[in-house]
Amino acid sequence: MPRRKAEKPSRSRRGDGSVYRRQDGKWVGEATVGRRADGARDRRFVYADTREEAQEKLRKLLHERDRGLLADPAKQTLGEFLASWLQDVAKPAVRQRTYRNYAGVVKSHISPALGGIRLAKLSPQRLQRFYREKQEAGLTRTVRLCHAVLHRALGQAAKWNLVPRNVADLVDAPRVPKKEFTPLSPEEAQRFLAAAEGDRFYALYVLAVTCGLRQGELLGLKWEDIDAEQGALQVRRQLQWVKAEEERKGGRKRPEPNWVLTEPKSAKSRRVVTLPALAVAALKKHKARQGEEKLKMGEVWQDLGFVFTTPIGTPEDASNLRKRSFVPLLEKAGLPKVRFHDLRHTCATLLLAQGVHPKLVQEQLGHSQISLTLDTYSHVLPALQREAAAKMDALFGAKQGR
């Protein structure tokens, strides 16, 4: 009986490995996954009964290689480690938008500059130079994100004993100037709410100005979170909009959902907020109006339980809210063009200016620490200190005069 010849390997792009059939009929997938300690290529093999099965096993092998799972720890590069860390550590632990930011800064900035350096060979001096180069390019905020990613990832590498120390601990993180914000004055806030009174999002603006909720918290509110009788609401989640991406699966392109519900920003952000009477009245009116929209739209309405929605019941897009409602209302009220987040700053500033204790303001806003409240709104404190000094004079100065 003549011997069967082995089929020639089928190849695609360089580095993608090959699949071929042995003389005994077994299918083999073969790929280079790195270099051994002696410098020779580290080749790995997978075996299967069919070509399709061998190709699938080879794809899995290449996927593990690309994530650094097959690399010798002594030879693993920073790029390989970050690819693995993003998928196995960061992605399950952080919000979807945060993960996208992490992955984006690794792909666009960290890996091109530092990815080829061996993980154990990354020095503080090289990392500090990377930060300086990015700062000189005017990317200060990007450098801060790079530092946050590297500090977290290298901390994990140190925990796994892949490196002796966290190199990011030994460099100076670039300083970023504080964001300027422009809170509305009491008179401006009144003008804004007066201009918004006929808008379908009037209740949302009332909550933003009087309760200081973040935009994502407002858009993530559901009717089950609101107790109009008790005059309170619970912040349990926030709605985030993410850029739609297309993934290939089975040869088709499938867009991802462009909104997700996530946990509040911090543990303190999960809170109960007492509503002023103005907010309760606005919410009741808003619910009645939403009921009319629901009847009008009929089967088109998607009853997802959100308080602030599009005309068909779906979550409102944050960008559309700003462009189609918020900015026109500012113009209508004759106010400068401020950010939506400045409504939150307006709430905090008005509360502090009225003598509300900073601890209560911290709880109202859901800040993780009172120091954050005090640092953010330090511009309000001198006026409060002058008021406190005047009260001391009123108490002791009069007695001293007598």
Reading the block at residue 304, the tokens are 């997802």
Q: Is position 95 annotated as part of the catalytic site?
A: no
Active site residue 200: no
| Whole-angstrom distance, CA of residue 282 vs CA of residue 171 | 51
Catalytic residue among 214, 237, 286, 345: 214
* Nearest one of 182, 208, 216 to 98, comparing CA atoms: 216
Q: Which of 102, 131, 205, 377 is catalytic?
A: 377
Judge whether 214 counts as a catalytic residue.
Answer: yes
- Neighbour tally for 385: CB within 10 Å: 10
Active site residue 345: no
DSSP summary character for residue 247: E
Provide Rg for the chain, Cα atoms: 29
Q: In whole angstroms, give the CA distance from residue 86 to residue 131.
A: 21
Q: Provide the b/e sequence for 36-62 (b: ≥16 CB within 10 Å).
A: eeeeeebebebebeeeeebbebbeebb
Q: Which of 184, 186, 205 is nearest to 342 (CA)?
A: 184
285 is catalytic: no
Q: Name the token pair of 151.
A: 């500090």
- The burial of 374, by beta-carbon neighbours within 10 Å (0-12 exposed, 13-18 middle, 19 or more buried), is given as middle
Choosing from 175, 254, 341, 359, the catalytic residue is: 341
Distance CA 205, CA 321 (A): 11
Q: Are 252 and 258 in contact (CB under 8 A)?
A: no
Annotation marks residue 337 as catalytic: no
Catalytic one of 249, 252, 253, 402: 249
End-to-end CA distance of the chain: 126
Single out the catalytic residue among 236, 286, 344, 345.
344
Catalytic sites, residue numbers = 214, 249, 341, 344, 367, 377
